[in-house]
């Protein structure tokens, strides 16, 4: 799948797209340290059901330029508006993972009318979450920079990622690694993590106002965000959600076990097509 590019606020933004331009749009938002390649196996399947799947490399990640200003949580939420406007997307089915969820769900909370449905994976926008050990280091000035510098050792990083995601393709990891290539790019992650404060989560507890279909997918052994939060998300935000726990997987389920994730994604969109058909009949 070739990436496309567009210019947004004088920045090069890279994205992947599958499906007809006239089809209902599905926006897929990746997390850290990922890129649109997270969705490589999922997008053709979504397009095959008659949808248009679009996945940007968030600014600074993959092949996209970083923001010329700070890479804060707020600026990434604004980016979704800008990116959708550039592609003339009115409403979207939203698929999010990791930081993509914190960004995408905040956006959804501000624009509930633009959300047609949600697939939420291994992410959290709820009070009560405590940062995992690596996140705590990244959030600590001085220490975060040192940790980042160590992570820039490509050979070691690739080796660690292959241990974490044994079945992952090299090309996907290559794309993920691009965020570590320069100090300027590495700062993107530090700026993002440091811009997140728990008080910023409080205004976003209105997600329950979104009554559209929701599927929650989670890696059974996610070391960063436990499956407890899958159930908590349903309990506190989306009582209508279906939960699917992907057995024997970690955090990066879409590239670790695509064969197990794809049927869940297809089921979500098939049910949407049936709903639409029911409304027409």
Q: Using 50, 70 and 90 to split pLDDT, how confident is the model at 200?
A: low
Q: What is the pLDDT averaged over residues 98-109? A: 95
- Who contacts 187 (Cβ-Cβ below 8 Å, separation ≥6)? 71, 148
pLDDT reading at 254 higher than 90: yes
Q: Using 50, 70 and 90 to split pLDDT, how confident is the model at 276?
A: confident
Fold classification of 4-280 (topology level): Rossmann fold (3.40.50)
Task: Say if residues 45 and 33 touch (Cβ distance below 8 Å).
Answer: no
* Alpha-carbon distance values, 22 to 190, 268, 269 (Å): 38, 20, 17
- pLDDT for residue 130: 85
φ, ψ for residue 147, nearest 5 deg: -60, -40
- pLDDT for residue 128: 79
- pLDDT for residue 27: 98
The edge-to-edge listing of strands for the beta sheet with 242-246 is 4-8, 11-18, 52-56, 25-29, 92-97, 115-121, 214-219, 242-246
Give me 185's structure tokens.
Answer: 């790019």
Indicate the pTM of the whole model. Answer: 0.96
Q: State pLDDT tens for residues 43-101.
A: 999 999 999 999 999 999 999 999 999 999 999 999 999 999 999 999 999 999 999 99
Query: Domain extents for the chain?
Result: 4-280
Q: Which of 9-13, 97-101, 114-118, 130-134 has the lowest mean pLDDT?
A: 130-134
CA-to-CA distance for 122 and 60, rounded, in angstroms? 21
């Amino acid at each position: 799948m070739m990436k496309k590019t567009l210019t947004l606020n004088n920045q090069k933004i890279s994205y992947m797209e599958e499906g007809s331009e006239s089809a209902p749009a599905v926006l897929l938002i990746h997390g850290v340290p990922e890129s649109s390649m997270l969705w490589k196996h999922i997008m053709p399947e979504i397009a095959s059901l008659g949808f248009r799947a679009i996945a940007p490399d968030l600014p600074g990640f993959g092949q996209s330029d970083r923001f010329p200003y700070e890479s804060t949580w707020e600026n990434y939420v604004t980016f979704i508006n800008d990116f959708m406007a550039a592609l003339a997307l009115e409403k979207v089915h939203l698929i999010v993972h990791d930081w993509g969820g914190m960004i995408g769900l905040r956006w959804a909370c501000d624009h509930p009318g633009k959300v047609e449905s949600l697939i939420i994976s291994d992410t959290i926008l709820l009070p009560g979450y405590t940062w995992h050990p690596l996140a705590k280091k990244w959030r600590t000035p001085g220490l975060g920079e040192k940790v980042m510098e160590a992570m820039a050792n490509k050979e070691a990083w690739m080796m660690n990622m292959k241990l974490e995601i044994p079945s992952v393709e090299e090309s996907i990891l290559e794309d993920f690694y691009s965020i570590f290539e320069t100090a300027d790019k590495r700062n993107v992650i530090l700026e993002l993590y440091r811009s997140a404060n728990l008080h910023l989560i409080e205004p976003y507890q209105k997600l329950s106002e979104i009554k559209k279909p929701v599927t929650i997918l989670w890696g059974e052994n996610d070391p960063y965000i436990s499956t407890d939060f899958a159930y908590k998300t349903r309990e506190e935000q989306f009582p209508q959600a279906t939960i699917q726990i992907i057995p024997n997987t970690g955090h990066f389920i879409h590239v670790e076990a695509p064969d197990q994730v794809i049927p869940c994604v297809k089921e979500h969109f098939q049910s949407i097509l049936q709903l639409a058909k029911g409304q027409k009949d």
